[in-house]
Each structure stands twice: as structure tokens, then as C-alpha cells.
Structure 1
Amino acid sequence: MKKYILKYGMLAVLSTAALASCSDDFIDTEFYQQVQQGPLNTIEELESFVKGQYVSMRNASYYGCDFLMIGEVRSNNMYSDFANGAGYYQTVASYSMTAGDQYSSGPYMNMYQAIAKANIVINNVPTGQLTWKSSQDPAVIQARANYLKGQAYASRALALFDLLRMFGQEYSGGTTGVVIPVTYNPQAKQARSTVAETRAQIEADFDKALALMGTPSSNVHTIRTEINQYGVKALMSRYYLYKGDYTKVKSLVADIVASGKYAVISASDFSSSFSKPNSAANSIFEIAVGSTNDLGTTSIANKLNVAPNGYGNMKVLPALRNSYVADDVRKDVITPANVLNGKYVNSFDNIHLVRYEEVLLNGAEAEIKAGNPTIAVGYFNQIQAKRGKGTAGTLPLVTSVTEDMIYTERQKELVGEGFGYWDLLRRSQSITQRNANGVDGTVRSIGNQLLTFPIPRAEINVPGTLVTPNPGFGN
């Protein structure tokens, strides 16, 4: 990994302005302007770096907007109306990306930013006993330090997973993964690992996160703007579903369900739940935005909503809109013009990165794969029971489910949240290119070189770099 990218990850000096902007919740936190590449000796310093990871995730190029929209623009859920929507995602939709494309370089940079910040926390060795203004008890202080390091491991695992999905060659005919920096060293040059090696690091990081964070406290689920133990397990269920390890998905989902800490959001609150910061019952992990950090024209809301609230660039495919029954509340958040205007209606809405409904669908798919239809039906019906507009608030419950039914339900429930493209790839489905009107065009099968994304030019042009480009992309 070259200095150019990692220097953005952690310049070793965290400014008060940069970190205090992470969310309104951070106002009372004391940050440090002179944290050089030396040890962090206080819990407050560790907390500032952990919150800095979430700042990188919130960037409009990453979970703030583009990474999620990239996951939809090549899906069978949505398409980019780039002719009428200010040209957003045209190169992604038309498979005409080059190494200089902003939709590769932006996510790449911010993913490695998050990793760099995580690495400083993970590898921190204080010069003495850590101190904390909230406690003088060494055991309490160490437990807090471990919890923060657990969040850092989870953040690194998630960023590596996202890098692997976007830049790894698993579905494009190769075996090359991504660069895996496990220490902060802006001078280091490092080659890309294999897909298998990248997966091994992701899994080790998730496991380490859980080991460090320990048993969840009774109220840990009420703090939704940081990754807690349930959030780690939810992200692991997502990762292992994509890997195809259904045994692990089953166990992880069962743990979350058994905790009783989360619930499917009711039909009446479905749309509004996306605008409720740190309070919706179905939110397992969300990235804080808020009015102080309003993402404005760079937000998801701007791409989904039409004027005066946005460009309306991303549209729902008519076939998906027509697949909802009339009584499904989720159909109401899609206009007859196929605009998804009921999720992220404001540019300052928190980004709901992991919802309980996704976890249930992960579990349902894994249980079907494992031959446990009764459990799968139970998970599936938890969502059906809360999606009807009638007095009962329920859609018809099912007595049996198939894998295709669960996949269709994923589309209906999660459209606009960045799952579509990756779901097609993990299921070895062909990818249909669509024009600015959503009309089908070229179909690409697994193994096509263009199903991955170009390594940014700023990375591969560094003198002496060990990072190899993905084939099929021009400079």
C-alpha cells in the first residue's frame, strides 16, 4: 500500500474540526490536535480514532452514498437515469470505467482511510497505564479499551470485505484480492493478497472483535451509532452469507434473534424509521450524520429524490415496483415514476447500515440452504407480519418458503440500500447492463473482467508500487 492512499487514512494529526464533525453526539468529546505517530495514552484519544473510522465510512464516496448506489446501479433493482440525473454513475452503469474513475478512487480511498485509523487503535501500545476521565479503575479502563479495539477490528473487517467485493477478482475470472495493511505505515509498499488470504483476514478480524468486546451489556443495543457485539454478529452474517458459509450464518442470526433486542419495524413506521436517528427498533448499526454534517447534494437522498430535494438519478426498475402487492406498505415509498422517495428523504438522515430485517433474511436463506424450512418460515413471516397497510398491518403469512421467495423479499425490503449487485454476484447470476431508460442491454456472466472495478490510477502509478491493476480497464 502506498503513501498516497494511506496518508489520507491517518495523517497522524487529527484536527478537532474534522472529528468533531462526525456527529452531534461527539460535541462533548475532547479531541487532540497533536496526536503524532506515537502511543495513545488515554481512552479519549482511542475514542477519537474510533469515531474517525466512522467519519471515513460516512464519506459520500463510501457509505454516505456512492458505495451503496454502485451496489444498486448494476443490480436488478434499480438503474441510473444518467441522461436526466446530472450524469451520476454513468460510467458504472455503462461499464466504461477507467483507472481514473471517481467511483473507484473515492470508495477505495475512504475504505483504506477507515482501515488506517483502525490500525492505529488496534496496534496501539500506551507508554503506561491508560487513563480515562470517566473512571480510575484499571479493570474498567481496560475493558473500555478492549471494546474500542473491538470496534476497530470490526471496522477493518468491514472495510476489507467491501474492498474485496468491489476490487477483488473473485467474480471476474481471477484469484487476486486486495492489499491488507494490518499496521499503520504510510511508507510501506505492499502487494495485493489473494481472495483466500483476504477472506482469512476478514474472518480473523471479526473473531477478534467479538473476543475483545466480551458479553454485551443489557443496554448496549441502545447506542446504534457504533458497532456493538450484535452489530459485529450482524455484519458477520452478511459476510458469511456472501461467502456461502450457511452454518455460521444460522448461528449468528439465531444469537441476534434470541437476544430480543431488535424488532421488525412496523408498517406505519417503515419509511419514517430511516429518518429516526439512533432510535428505530430495527436499527442495529447506523452511521451518524445529523444536521451538523448534512451531506447535501452528495447524499443518498439527493440521488433518490427528485427536485427540489434531489436529482432523482437512481430509479427503481418497473418490474420490481410491479412485484409488490397493493397492500404492501413498501410499494408506497416508490412513486408511479419509479422514484424511491420513502427512504433517506433528508440529506442529514443517519445511514442505516445494518437493519434487523436484513439479518432475518440472511437467516432465512441460510436455514433454507441447510434444510430447515420451519425456521426460515418463521424469519420470513416476521417481516410479512409488519408490511401490510390494512388494519391488521400484515401481509399474508406463508407456510413454506423457497430460496427464490427469500431473494425476492430481499429485493423488496432492501432496495436502495446497496445489496443488489453483490447479491447477484454471490448467487452466480448474470448481470444485465441497462441504459439511462432502464432498458436491458449487454448481459455479462460470472468471470467477465468488467464485473470488478479498476484499481485507481493514483495507486498503480506510484513509483515502485507492488499493487497490480485489474485487467480490462484503460488508464
Structure 2
Amino acid sequence: MKKYILKYGMLAVLSTATLTSCSNDFIETEFFQQVQQGPLNTIEEMDAFVKGQYLSMRNAAYYGCDFLMIGEARSNNMYSDFANGAGYYQTVASYSMTANDQYATNPYMEMYKVIAKANIVINNVPSGPLTWKASQDPTAIQTRANFLKGQSYASRALALFDLLRMFGQEYAGGTTGVVVPTVYDPEAKQARSTVAETRAQIEADFDKALSLMGAASSAATTNRTEMNVYTVKALMSRYYLYKGDFARVRTLVAEIVAGNKYSVIPAADFSASFSKPNSAVNSIFEIAVGSTNDLGTTSISNKLNLAPNGYGNMKVLPALRLSYIADDVRGSVISSANVLNGKYVNGFDNIHILRYEEVLLNGAEAELNGGSAATALTYYNLIQSKRGKATGALAPAAAVTLDMVATERQKELVGEGFGYWDLLRRNQPVIQRSSSGAAGTIRNVGNQLLTFPIPRTEINVPGTPVTPNPGFGA
């Protein structure tokens, strides 16, 4: 891993304006811009570096926009209208990426920034007893320090998972994973781990996050812009679903449901929930944005909405739009022009990374893979019961199948970045589409182009042991 990425880990916070948002929970009055080397001796310093992790997640190249749109540009949900949408995601959609491509380089950089900042907190050894302005109780201070370290382990796990999905060779005919740095060292040159080794680190990090956060954080669910135990379990349910460990998914989802902290958003509030900062009942984890940090032309809303509100680059496939029955509220957020204009309508909307509905769908799929069909039906119908425009509910299903769950994931999660990865993990063919959405080349799991190129700026570092992914030009 080269210096140009990891050096950013020390810049936990760049400026006062950078971390300000419409959520008071994301506002800090001290930012410790000068804390760039040495131990973090206060909870406030540690907290600043944790917020720095979320800051990197918010970047337009990562969860702020591109990573999610990349997951849709190669999906069976959406397509990139790059001919009429300012050219966004053309190389992704046309499988013409090279090692210099911005849609590989920029997400890669931001993901490793998250890891670098997380490593600083994870490995922090204060030069003396930690202090905290909010308390002088050593037990309270240690509990908060553990909670911050727990968030950092979870952030590192999430970034490694996303890196593995984008740049690992699991679905491209190889066994090579990604670079897995576990300490902050801007001079280190580290080779890529295998897929199995990368997964082992992800799983260890998630487990460590849970152990550090402890039961106390189970009650800390009102601030949805900060990870808690339920956030970690929900992320784990996503990860283990992609791994195919359905037993683990069943356990995690059952624990989240039993916690009774979240609920399916009612039909009347479905679209509006994406514009509600830190308050929607279905939001498990979201990245704070706010008017001060409006992502503007780099935002998800800009890629989804038509002029004058955006480029209208990402369109819903007509077949998916037409699959909604008339009373399904989710169909009403897609226009007849195949524009998804009811999610992320503003550049300042918080980015909803984890919704309760995803967790229920994870659980339903896992239950149908070796668990209880009755429980799967319960999870499925919890969503159906809140999706009817007229009465608030759609007719409940009498039975549910894996194909029904897959279709429901498309209808519920379209535009949120799941489509491509769902196809790969289910060993489904990936259909290349033109700028008009017309079907073209079909690629099956094992095709070299189903991963992404390791950035040229990474593999050109003198003496680097990082190897490129085969199949990409210069």
C-alpha cells in the first residue's frame, strides 16, 4: 500500500466547515487539525478521527454517490444514460475501464482513507490516561474510548468489504483479494491478500467491533449518523449474505428484529424518509450531509434527477418500472421517463447506508436457505404491509420464494447500489447495456472484467508488491 493513499489517514478532519451538517450530532466545535502525529490523548481527539472516517465515506466517489451508482450501472435495475447524462459511468457501463479510470481510482482512494483513519484509532496508545471534557469517571472514559474503537473496527470492516467487492477477484476467476493494512504506516508497501485472508480480517473486525461496543450501545440508536451495535449487526447481515453464510445472517437478523428499535417506513412516508435527516424509523445508519456540505453536482440526486435538478444520468430499466402494481407506492417514485425522482431529491440529503427493509430482505433470503419458510414470510410481509398507496398495505403473500425475495430487493432497493453485487453473489449473468438500456454482451461469473482495475497510481509505485487485475489495458 503506497504512501499517497495512507498519508491521508492522518488528516482526520480538514476544516471546520467540512464536518458541519444539519445534524447536531455531527457538529463539533473543536477539530484538532494539528493532531497529525503521535498518540491521541483525549476522547475528543479520538472522536474527531472517527468522524473523519464518516467524512471519507461521504465523499462523492464513495457512498456520497459513485460507489452506489456503480452498483446500479451494471445491474438489472438501472442503466447509465451516458449519452444524454454528461457521460457519467460510461466506462463502467461499457466495460472499457483502464487502470487510469476515475471510477476505480477515486473509490479506491476513499476506501483506504477510511481504513487509514480507522487504524489510527484502533492502534492508538495514549501517552497517559485518556481525558474527556464530558466526564472525569475513568470507567465512563474507557467505555466511550471502546465505543469509538468499535466504530473504527466496523468502518475498517465495511471499507474492506467494499474494496473486496470492487477489486477482489472472487467473481472474476481468481483468488486474489485486496491490500489489508491493519496499522497506519504511510511508508509501508504491502501485497494484496487472498480473498479468504481478506474475509478473515473483515469478520475479525466486525466481531471486535461488537465486543468493544458492548451492550450499552444497544440503547444508543437515536443518533443514526453514528454506528452502534445494531449498525454493526446489520452490516454483518449484509456481508454474510454476500458470503453465503445464511445461518449467521439468520441469527443476526433475528437479533435486530427482536431489539425492536426500527420499523418499516409507512407508505405515506416512503419517499420523504430519504430526505429526513437522522429521524426516519427505518434508518439504521446514514451519513450526515446537510446544507453546509451539499454535494451539489457530485451528489446521488444529481445523477438521478433530470434538469434543472440534475443530469438524469441513471435511469430505471423499463421492465422494472412496469413490474410495480398500481397500488405499490414504490412505483410512484419512478416517472414514465424511467427517472427515479423520489429518492435523494436534494444534494444535501443524508445518505441512507442501512435501512431496516434491507435487513428484513437479508433475513428472508437466509431463512429460505436452510431456515424457516414461515419466518421468511413474516419478514417479507412486514414490508408488504407498508407499501400500499391506497390503504397503506399491499396484499400479503401466502408463501414466499427466493425469486420473490430477489424481485422484492429490486423493487425496494433500486437506486441504492445493490444490483450488481446481488447478481454476482447469486451467480447470475450480468448484461451489458447501451446508453438507451438495450441489452448487449452477457458476462457470467468468472469473466475477468467483472472486477475493477487496480489504479495505475497504485501499481506504478516503485517497488510495490501490489499486482494488477488481469484484463485491463493501460
The interval holding the TM-score normalised by the smaller chain is over 0.9
State the partner residue of 2:374: 374
1:260 aligns with 2:260: yes
8 Å Cα contact 2:13-2:19 kept in structure 1: no
Q: How many residues align?
A: 473
Which residue of the partner structure matches residue 65 of structure 2? 65
Query: Which residue does the alignment assign to 1:448?
Result: 447
8 Å Cα contact 1:377-1:401 kept in structure 2: yes
Contact in 2 for aligned 1:8/1:109 (Cα 8 Å) = no
Is the CA contact (8 Å cut-off) linking 1:433 and 1:442 kept in structure 2?
Answer: yes
Q: How far did residue 37 of structure 1 move?
A: 1.8
Provide, for residues 353-383 of structure 1, a one-character-per-residue CA deviation record: whole Å limited to 9, x for no partner. Answer: 0000000000000000014100000000000
Task: In structure 2, give the amino acid aligned to 1:91.
Answer: T
Distance 1:185 1:152, change over 3 A: same
Secondary structure (helix, strand or coil) at the match of 1:238 reads: helix
What letter is aligned with 2:300?
I
Answer whether contact 2:218 2:229 (CA < 8 A) is retained: no
- Give 1:271-282 correspondences, 5 Å limit: 271-282=271-282
CA RMSD in angstroms comes to 1.1
Q: For 2:353, what is the secondary structure of its paired residue?
A: strand
Indicate the SS of the match to 2:377. Answer: helix
Unpaired segments of 5 or more residues in structure 1? Answer: none
Question: Residue 429 of structure 1: CA displacement?
Answer: 0.5
| Deviation at residue 4 of structure 1 after TM alignment | 1.5
Q: Distance in 1 between matches of 2:209 and 2:298?
A: 31
> Is residue 19–residue 52 contact of structure 1 (8 Å, CA) maintained in 2?
no
> CA deviation digits over 1:450-475, x for unaligned, max 9?
00000000000011111000000011
Tell me the residue number matched to 2:131. Answer: 131
Q: Which amino acid is 2:428 matched to?
A: Q
Residue 413 of structure 2 corresponds to 414
Q: Is the 8 A contact 2:9 2:184 kept in 1?
A: no
User: Map of 1:153-232 to 2, 5 A cutoff?
Assistant: 153-217=153-217, 219-232=219-232
The CA deviation at 1:169 is: 0.1
Name the structure 1 match of 2:50.
50
Change (3 A) 1:374 1:295: same
| Matched residue SS, 1:184 | coil
Do residues 77 (structure 1) and 77 (structure 2) align?
Answer: yes
Residue pair 2:217, 2:229 contacting (<8 A) in 1 also: no
Where structure 2 has 5 or more consecutive residues not aligned to the other structure, the ranges are none
User: Distance between the aligned counterparts of 1:22 and 1:128, measured in 2?
Assistant: 33
Aligned counterpart, 1:325:
325
CA–CA distance in structure 1, aligned partners of residues 352 and 112 of structure 2: 21
Cα 1:196–1:379 shift into 2, 3 Å: same
Q: 1:146 to 1:218 in 2, by over 3 A?
A: closer
Q: Secondary structure at the match of 1:418?
A: coil
What residue in structure 2 maps to residue 296 of structure 1?
296
**Amino acid of the structure 2 residue aligned with 1:93:** A
Deviation at 1:16, TM superposition (A): 3.5
CA–CA distance in 2 between the matches of 1:349 and 1:129?
Answer: 39
Shift of 1:19: 4.8
Equivalent residue, structure 2, for 1:439: 438
1:467 aligns with 2:466: yes
Deviation at 1:31, TM superposition (A): 1.5
CA distance in 2, matches of 1:389, 1:17: 43
Opposite residue 159 of structure 2, the aligned amino acid is: A
| Aligned-residue identity in percent | 76
**What residue in structure 2 maps to residue 32 of structure 1?**
32
How far has the Cα of 1:399 moved from its partner?
Answer: 1.6
Deviation at 1:153, TM superposition (A): 0.1
1:164/1:127 Cα in 2 relative to 1: closer, same or farther (>3 Å)? same
Q: How far apart are 1:29 and its partner, in Å? A: 3.5
2:2 is the counterpart of 1:2: yes
Paired position in structure 2 for 1:335: 335
The match for 1:357 is 357
8 Å CA contact 1:16, 1:32 repeated in 2: no
Superposed displacement of residue 306, structure 1: 0.3
Matched, 1:395 2:379: no
The equivalent residue for 1:284 is 284
* Cα distance in structure 2, aligned partners of 1:150 and 1:361: 26
CA contact (8 A) 1:14 1:35 kept: no
Contact kept, 8 Å, 2:18 with 2:293, in 1: the verdict is no
Q: Corresponding residue for 2:122?
A: 122
One-letter code aligned to 1:184: Y
The C-alpha deviation readout for 1:409-439, integer Å capped at 9, x for no partner, is: 0000000000000000000001000000000
Moved more, 393-402 or 23-32: 23-32
The answer on whether the counterparts of 1:285 and 1:355 sit within 8 Å (CA) in structure 2 is: yes
Hey, what's the Cα distance between the residues in 2 that align with 1:22 and 1:334? 29
Per the alignment, residue 430 of structure 1 pairs with 429
